[in-house]
Structure 1
Amino acid sequence: MESKDYSVLKIYASSTDKMGMKLLYEHIVYLAKEKGISGVTVYRGVMGYGLSSTHISSSKFWELTEKLPIMIEMVDETEMLETFYQLIEPELLKMPKGCLVYLEPIKIKLLKSGIKK
């Protein structure tokens, strides 16, 4: 495998957070695709809280619209993720709610593309 520096960029926020008129996670996923980020996954948390939380959010089967913690995870070359973060940072800073973002180097063991559909 080529020797490139790869990282994971993770954004922790709430499922109800918005960037403009779109949900934060939707906006970031579509923008990442547009900017050529290799892959993005959004995880919905079962339970959690953040620095600006006044209560603990939890998932219950009868509360389908509950505000839940989310994590947006993207993996790509470090330089691509740094550039992408610089693009979204001003918008994240404008959000009234809190979030956590970190970039961590990773070691890719297998990077295999499938057939594009």
Structure 2
Amino acid sequence: MGRLDGEQVLMRIFIGESDRWENRPLHKVLVELFRREGFAGATVLRGVAGFGAASVLHTDGLLRLSQDLPLVIEVVDNEEKIEAILPQLDDMLQGGMITLEKARVIRYSK
């Protein structure tokens, strides 16, 4: 694994906790994919509330704990690696959103 510093790309993938790919939780499949493809790292963040294109509100309120909470998967790597994986992600996501932005990496170590 090479050193990752300077200007890189931050990819955020917004999905729901109930999203699946081949009967498996999509967020787990994505993290495994990024690891297998040698990405620098990936983090899954669980939201306490949110809504998407359909404007359906998802919250972690007591009666909705087992419902579809929002998840964000963050990945930072070089632009070429991010761009190369986008077609595969497009096939896997049935909904949600992907955003890309420049990120300045100050420190990265194993």
Q: TM-score, normalised by structure 2?
A: 0.86
Residue 43 (structure 1) aligns with? 45
Question: Mapping of 1:8-27 within 5 angstroms?
Answer: 8-27=10-29
CA distance in structure 2 between the partners assigned to 1:76 and 1:49 by the alignment: 27
Of 84, 102, 106, which residue of structure 1 is paired with 2:103? 106
In 2, are the aligned partners of 1:5 and 1:78 still within 8 Å (CA)? no
Where in structure 2 are the equivalents of 1:1-117 lying within 5 Å? 5-53=7-55, 55-61=56-62, 63-92=64-93, 95=94, 98-113=95-110
One-letter identity of the residue aligned with 1:90: D
CA distance in 2, matches of 1:46, 1:22: 22
Matched residue of 2:105: which SS? coil
**Per-residue Cα deviation, 1:44-91 (whole angstroms, up to 9, x for no partner):** 1000100024x3111024643121011011011111111122222122
Say if 2:15 and 2:96, in contact at 8 Å, map to a contact too: yes
CA distance in 2, matches of 1:101, 1:39: 17
2:28 maps to a residue whose letter is E
Number of matched pairs: 108
Between the two proteins, what is the percent identity of the paired residues?
26
Indicate if the aligned counterparts of 1:14 and 1:70 stay in contact, CA closer than 8 A.
yes
In 1, are the aligned partners of 2:5 and 2:104 still within 8 Å (CA)? no
Long gaps (5+) in structure 1: none
Runs in 1 of length 4+ with deviation above 3 angstroms? Answer: 1-5, 61-64
SS in 2 for 1:107: strand
Q: CA RMSD in A?
A: 1.9
Inter-partner Cα distance in structure 2 for 1:21 and 1:72 = 19
> CA contact under 8 A between 1:4 and 1:77: conserved in structure 2?
no
Distance 2:21 2:4 in 1: 36
Unaligned 5+ residue runs, structure 2? none
